[in-house]
């Protein structure tokens, strides 16, 4: 995927995950964004070659939630 397309995907995906964080953690948008951007999940997400960006916002939120609660997360297997 080209850098421009990847940027577009991230531009759509990240706000949806942040919205789910605000809804489920009762964080304001800034806090949710800071928590997400500071996560190990986001560090992998911004690396195109990990292919984590192809997961749905809900799956990414669940991975974020697992990281927050357990200190790490598992990458789901493809169906």
Domain ranges, ordered by start, for the chain: 3-70
pLDDT tens for each residue of the chain, 79 residues long: 567 765 666 788 999 999 999 999 999 999 999 999 999 999 999 888 888 988 999 999 999 999 999 999 999 986 4
Q: Determine the 3-state secondary structure of 38 from DSSP.
A: coil
Please give the backbone phi and psi of residue 44, each rounded to the nearest 5 degrees, phi first. -75, -35
């Amino acid at each position: 995927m080209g850098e421009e397309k990847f940027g577009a995907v991230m531009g759509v995906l990240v706000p949806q995950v942040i919205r789910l964080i605000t809804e489920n953690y009762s964080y304001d948008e800034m806090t949710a964004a800071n928590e997400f951007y500071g996560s190990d999940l986001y560090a992998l997400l911004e690396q195109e070659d990990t292919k984590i960006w192809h997961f749905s916002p809900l799956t990414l939120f669940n991975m974020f939630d697992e990281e927050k609660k357990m200190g790490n997360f598992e990458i789901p297997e493809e169906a």
